[in-house]
């Protein structure tokens, strides 16, 4: 296949878009679409190579896999290996445990599945995940594992252009349909899932078949392609609806098909600086996220713009070195003297085993807290948030509450708390406060389940939430409980771009969607009020900009043993505005509203305190520590008693 410098330039556009997006997300809100450009380019190149070899009668599945492994694995393993000591020395236990799990996923080519189960790509906490970007490698490697077999079946003896083109178009169409469905019901799955991404590879492959190795110099079409890519990168953001990536994919296809050295786009993309960046684009992609993440992990405050720019420069410098000394040597063909196939496979196996072993160790030891000074590890352990009785999957049949989730069961009077992990983190402290007044507490909490009937988040952990919450309410109404505390991560819940009600998507940016949520909230409270149950609505707790306990621990390591961590009132009220508006819209006579901000934000400097005097009130960015839960529990009981 003829080397095309304009493709290297297109790679440069893709990788720089992603890097700038991760460094300055507000400056280039659609930069993440650079990954879609990479997928189309990969489909184009891989299809061209496979079909060329099939037509020549030299195609070998084993040889294909070895070439792909030589292209991807050495640099990937090297970057991960460099991340391990940084994680060991700079990460707190929870961070190291999560990082260890991601190392395993990256080595086994399932990062996309791993991060789908953990968090959304655009969630704030992902900025401190060094291997988040390997999700795209997982998608690509899974595609490589299937695609050559499919092309080989189509052309068993020789290359058949029409049959191949028909297959690629049909595959792309099917993938688009799957992507459309998932975009409505599970946007996170749609983002990470190979079947919802395959159409991008297929379109790239279709361009390769259509071109057939012939020069198609239609400069205006190439210009249109660049305009489409630019529009997608500049105008789109995380909230853009399906098929937002379609513009970038179409633009990339036009550039791949019609940009040539003789036209404006081809010449522009062939400029030496772009070609150089494109040549090292894979290594640049590998390096940028770990550098950005560890800078944020290591720094007590968020790195400023100049720091991020410096890290971009360092990413490119490391990328050049990695390309020169890691990528190029390992790309040598297996029939040359050095790096023979058996040695390469053995080396990959050794690295995989070593890195996976580290990952297993980090997981089993829960982040190896013993590597930290005792004072720090004790502080972290003492400020962990309560996960007791926090369900992750629905028991069948549902038995609520579980006997072990009833506190102070010797008392005749009983309250109940229903909600998600926020409610779980609060429950022990609330039970202790209620015990002083002779009241039991029934805890019914499920991860990702806001205490609202019918409506749920779109992510996988929330799939059983409507059933869980409704069952909890039925149990409460039948048990004689007369007071229910509803607690949830309201800010996170109402920040969701897409909620789901009765399998139908709800868009919170529309007035209809907002009305549906208000209706569901009111129905939730009415169901309890009509049964004679008093309802306590717990309003949002102030959130941290970063992992609060980890931040305090890092400050303690510098000698500041009792640091104060806070967030401005202005920022808190801005974050909580939508949640407060929704909760304020609930009407009813037997409702008690509790505002944690009255305790945490009661300072003269217009800040909300998240940690002070050697105590942390928030564990990560969200969940209450025991000290924080004690404050909120006193607020709740005080409101109930008074």
CA distances from 444 to 37, 394, 454 (A): 45, 11, 17
Provide the pLDDT for residue 337: 44
Helix (H, G, I), strand (E, B) or coil at 238: coil
- Asked whether the predicted pLDDT for residue 306 surpasses 60, the reply is yes
Picking from 581, 229, 249, 624, the residue whose alpha carbon sits closest to that of residue 417 is 624
CA distance 609 to 613: 11
Provide the pLDDT for residue 217: 63
Is residue 565 left, alpha or beta, with left meaning phi > 0 and alpha meaning psi from -120 to 50?
Answer: beta
User: Within 13 A of 118's CA, how many CA atoms are on the CB side?
Assistant: 23
Q: Give the pLDDT band (50/70/90) at residue 25.
A: very high
To 10 degrees, what angle do helices 34-56 and 245-258 make? 40
- Asked whether the predicted pLDDT for residue 617 surpasses 50, the reply is yes
Measured distance between the N- and C-terminal CA atoms of the chain, rounded to whole angstroms? 79
617 close to 635: Cβ distance less than 8 angstroms: no
When mean pLDDT is compared across 162-176, 205-219, 520-534, the lowest value belongs to: 205-219
Picking from 314, 327, 318, 279, the residue whose alpha carbon sits closest to that of residue 77 is 327
| Strand ranges for 503-631 from DSSP E | 504-507, 534-538, 565-568, 591-594, 607-612, 615-616
Burial of 49 (0-12, 13-18, 19+ CB in 10 A): middle
Q: Give the pLDDT band (50/70/90) at residue 8.
A: very high
Torsion of CA 624, 625, 626, 631, to 10 degrees: -50
Provide the pLDDT for residue 121: 80
Bigger pLDDT: 394 or 253?
253
Picking from 17, 62, 66, 63, the residue whose alpha carbon sits closest to that of residue 41 is 17
Burial of 268 (0-12, 13-18, 19+ CB in 10 A): middle
Residue carrying the six token digits 């079409």:
221
- Asked whether the predicted pLDDT for residue 642 surpasses 90, the reply is no
458 φ/ψ angles, rounded to the nearest 5 degrees: -85, -15
Query: Using one digit for the tens of pLDDT, what is the confidence trace for 178-213?
Result: 999 988 878 889 999 999 999 999 999 999 998 876
613 close to 622: Cβ distance less than 8 angstroms: no
CA distances from 583 to 51, 184, 343, 420, 579 (A): 59, 26, 63, 16, 6
Task: Tell me the mean pLDDT in the region 268-276.
Answer: 96
CA distance 383 to 473: 31
Query: Using one digit for the tens of pLDDT, what is the confidence trace for 100-111?
Result: 999 999 999 999
- Asked whether the predicted pLDDT for residue 354 surpasses 80, the reply is yes
Highest mean pLDDT among 2-6, 452-456, 601-605, 625-629: 625-629
Print the SS3 string covering 366-382: CCCHHHCCHHHHHHHHH
Provide the pLDDT for residue 162: 85
Domains in the chain, CATH or no CATH each? 5-371 (no CATH), 390-542+570-596+628-641 (3.40.50)
Is residue 390 left, alpha or beta, with left meaning phi > 0 and alpha meaning psi from -120 to 50?
Answer: beta
Query: Please, which residues bridge with residue 442 across strands?
Result: 406, 416
Provide the pLDDT for residue 532: 96
Picking from 171, 249, 205, 252, the residue whose alpha carbon sits closest to that of residue 45 is 205
Helix (H, G, I), strand (E, B) or coil at 317: helix
Dihedral sign, Cα of residue 319, residue 324, residue 330, residue 334: positive
CA distance 75 to 85: 17
Q: What is the per-residue burial (b if ≥16 Cβ within 10 Å, else e) of 67-106? A: bbbbebbbbbbbbbeebbebbeeebbbbbbbbbbbbbbbb
When mean pLDDT is compared across 72-81, 122-131, 260-269, 481-490, the lowest value belongs to: 122-131
Alpha helices in 24-133 (DSSP H): 34-56, 61-90, 93-107, 111-118
Q: What is the per-residue burial (b if ≥16 Cβ within 10 Å, else e) of 177-200? A: ebbeebbbebbbbbbbbbebbbbb
CA distance 270 to 266: 6
Percent of the residues in the chain that have a pLDDT greater than 70, as a whole number = 95
Query: Using one digit for the tens of pLDDT, what is the confidence trace for 278-292?
Result: 999 999 999 999 999
Residue carrying the six token digits 């890691």:
326
Provide the whole-model pTM.
0.84
Picking from 572, 399, 582, 500, the residue whose alpha carbon sits closest to that of residue 189 is 500
Q: Which two tokens stand for residue 613?
A: 């005097």
- Asked whether the predicted pLDDT for residue 487 surpasses 60, the reply is yes
- Asked whether the predicted pLDDT for residue 87 surpasses 60, the reply is yes
Query: Using one digit for the tens of pLDDT, what is the confidence trace for 208-260?
Result: 998 876 666 678 999 999 999 999 999 888 877 666 789 999 999 999 999 98
Q: Prior bond to 426 cis, omega within 30?
A: no
Task: Tell me the mean pLDDT in the region 292-298.
Answer: 94
255 close to 222: Cβ distance less than 8 angstroms: yes
258 close to 217: Cβ distance less than 8 angstroms: yes
- Asked whether the predicted pLDDT for residue 497 surpasses 70, the reply is no
Provide the pLDDT for residue 242: 63
To 10 degrees, what angle do helices 134-154 and 161-185 make? 140
Query: Using one digit for the tens of pLDDT, what is the confidence trace for 402-425?
Result: 889 999 999 999 999 999 999 999
CA angle 353/359/365 to nearest 5° reads: 130
- Asked whether the predicted pLDDT for residue 585 surpasses 70, the reply is yes
Task: Tell me the mean pLDDT in the region 597-614.
Answer: 92
Provide the pLDDT for residue 640: 92
Query: Using one digit for the tens of pLDDT, what is the confidence trace for 428-470?
Result: 999 999 999 999 999 999 999 999 998 988 777 788 899 999 9
Provide the pLDDT for residue 369: 93
Question: Rg of the chain's alpha carbons, rounded to an integer?
Answer: 27
Q: Which residues make Cβ contacts (< 8 Å) with residue 470, sequence separation at least 6?
A: 453
624 close to 425: Cβ distance less than 8 angstroms: yes
Provide the pLDDT for residue 1: 66
- Asked whether the predicted pLDDT for residue 339 surpasses 50, the reply is no
């Amino acid at each position: 296949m003829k080397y095309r410098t304009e493709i290297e330039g297109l790679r440069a556009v893709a990788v720089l878009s992603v890097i700038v997006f991760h460094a300055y997300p507000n400056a280039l809100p659609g930069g993440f679409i650079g990954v879609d450009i990479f997928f189309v380019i990969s489909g184009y190149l891989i299809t061209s190579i496979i079909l060329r070899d099939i037509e020549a009668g030299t195609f070998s599945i084993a040889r294909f896999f070895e070439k792909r492994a030589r292209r991807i694995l050495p640099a990937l393993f090297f970057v991960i290996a460099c991340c391990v000591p940084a994680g060991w020395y700079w990460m707190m236990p929870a961070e190291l445990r999560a990082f260890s799990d991601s190392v395993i996923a990256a080595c086994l080519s399932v990062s996309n599945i791993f991060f789908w189960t953990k968090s959304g790509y655009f969630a704030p906490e992902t900025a401190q995940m060094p291997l988040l970007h390997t999700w795209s490698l997982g998608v690509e490697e899974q595609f490589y594992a299937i695609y050559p077999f499919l092309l080989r079946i189509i052309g068993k003896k020789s290359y058949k252009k029409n049959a191949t083109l028909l297959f690629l178009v049909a595959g792309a169409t099917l993938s688009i349909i799957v992507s459309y469905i998932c975009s409505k019901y599970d946007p996170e799955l749609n983002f990470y899932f190979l079947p919802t991404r395959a159409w991008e590879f297929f379109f790239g492959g279709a361009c390769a078949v259509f071109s057939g190795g012939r020069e198609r110099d239609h400069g205006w079409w190439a210009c249109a392609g660049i305009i489409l890519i630019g529009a997608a990168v500049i105008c789109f953001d995380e909230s853009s609806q399906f098929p937002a990536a379609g513009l970038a994919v179409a633009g990339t296809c036009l550039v791949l098909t019609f940009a040539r050295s003789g036209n404006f786009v081809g010449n522009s993309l062939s400029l030496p600086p772009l070609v150089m960046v494109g040549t090292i684009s894979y290594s640049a992609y590998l390096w940028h996220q770990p550098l950005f993440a560890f800078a944020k992990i290591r720094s007590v405050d968020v790195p400023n713009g100049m720091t991020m720019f410096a890290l971009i420069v360092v990413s490119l410098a490391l990328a050049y070195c990695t390309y020169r000394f890691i990528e190029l040597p390992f790309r040598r063909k297996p029939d040359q003297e050095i790096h023979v196939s058996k040695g390469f496979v053995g080396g990959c196996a050794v690295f995989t085993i070593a890195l996976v072993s580290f990952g297993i160790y980090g997981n089993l030891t829960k982040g190896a807290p013993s590597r930290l000074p005792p004072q720090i590890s004790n502080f972290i352990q003492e400020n962990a948030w309560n996960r007791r009785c926090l369900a992750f999957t629905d028991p069948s049949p549902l038995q609520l509450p579980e006997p072990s989730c009833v506190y102070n069961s010797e008392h005749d009077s009983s309250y109940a708390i229903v909600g998600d992990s926020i409610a779980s983190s609060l429950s022990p402290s609330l039970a202790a406060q209620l015990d002083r007044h002779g009241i039991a507490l029934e805890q019914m909490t499920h991860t990702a389940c806001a205490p609202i009937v019918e409506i749920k988040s779109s992510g996988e952990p929330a799939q059983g939430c409507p059933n869980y919450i409704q069952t909890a309410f039925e149990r409460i109404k039948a048990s004689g409980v007369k007071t229910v505390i509803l607690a949830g991560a309201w800010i996170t819940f109402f920040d969701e771009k897409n909620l789901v009600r009765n399998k139908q998507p709800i868009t919170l940016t529309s007035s209809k969607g907002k009305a549906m949520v208000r209706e569901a909230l009111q129905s939730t409270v009415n169901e309890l009020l009509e049964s004679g149950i008093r309802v306590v609505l717990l309003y949002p707790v102030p959130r941290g900009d970063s992992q609060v306990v980890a931040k305090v621990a890092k400050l303690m390591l510098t000698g500041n043993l009792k640091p104060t961590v806070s967030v401005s009132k202005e920022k808190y009220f801005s974050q909580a505005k939508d949640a407060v508006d929704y909760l304020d819209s609930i009407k009813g006579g037997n409702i008690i509203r509790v505002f944690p901000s009255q305790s945490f934000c009661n300072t003269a400097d217009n800040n909300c305190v998240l940690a002070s005097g050697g105590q942390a009130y928030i564990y990560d960015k969200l969940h209450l520590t025991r000290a924080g839960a004690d404050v909120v529990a006193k607020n709740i009981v005080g409101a109930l008693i008074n």
